[in-house]
Amino acid sequence: MGIIPFLTLPPIIDVFLFSGLMALILSLTQKFLVNQHEAKRIKDRMTSLNKEMKEKQNDKESYSRIMDDYMRENSVLMRMSMKPSLLAFVLFIFIFIPTLEHSYGDRHAILTDGIGNVTLAAVPYTASYSDGKVTADGIECAVPCERQITGINWEIRHEPASTTLFVFHTPERIVFSQIIARLPIPLPLAGENVSWTGWYLISLIPFVMLFRKIMKISL
């Protein structure tokens, strides 16, 4: 089951459409929680003040006065953006990210003596790790590797037990990361295969830009 109710879609389309929906919600909050006319006036005023500052760089008194006006307008603009920014943060933390993580997040096989259980696409499997190789569903590969299980492409890796800051303990485990999309050009740090996180962000940005333009959002 994907994110979009009552539809069985490929993950790449499912996450893409979900990103568009989230971009629409975020754009609507910006549109109606901020006085866009006033925001545009302030931004135009700041542009004008910035131009004046460049012209008055040799006049310290005038430059200081203009700078004060600029900072005052900028402070007003920041206060105007606080409410939609706070709402966007809450939506991301409590709705957007948990929804995506539930459907397409990493799956873990916690290992005990090299053997653990994991559920992939609602199907339980026993996975094992030995001599740098992972075995699951009759498939064996030297990690890190990429394999198809239950018709889904997974990037598989092994993580040894670790402790962070002397407090947070992570047991030894095998991690299965679902590949959502393959990019024509590898991205720095991400490569050509992207999980839901990368594809969500790649999809979200153009949607946000499109909706901001359509709704004439200044802030």
Tens-digit pLDDT string for the chain (219 aa): 578 777 788 999 999 999 999 999 999 999 999 999 999 999 999 999 999 998 888 888 888 999 999 999 999 999 999 999 999 999 999 999 999 999 999 999 999 999 999 999 889 999 999 999 999 988 999 999 999 998 899 999 999 999 887 778 899 999 999 999 998 888 776 678 999 999 999 999 999 999 999 999 987
CA-to-CA distance for 134 and 117, rounded, in angstroms? 12
Whole-prediction pTM value?
Answer: 0.84
Question: Can you read off the two tokens belonging to residue 6?
Answer: 């009552």
Q: How many CB atoms lie within 10 A of CB 127?
A: 25
Q: Distances in Å between the alpha carbon of 135 and those of 1, 33, 131, 155? A: 25, 52, 11, 13
The angle at the Cα of 49, spanning 46 to 55, to the nearest 5 degrees, equals 150
Half-sphere exposure of 160 (CA within 13 A, CB side): 4
CA-to-CA distance for 124 and 107, rounded, in angstroms? 11
Residues 6+ apart with CB under 8 A from 100: 3, 15, 18, 196, 197, 200
Check residue 151 and give its pLDDT.
87
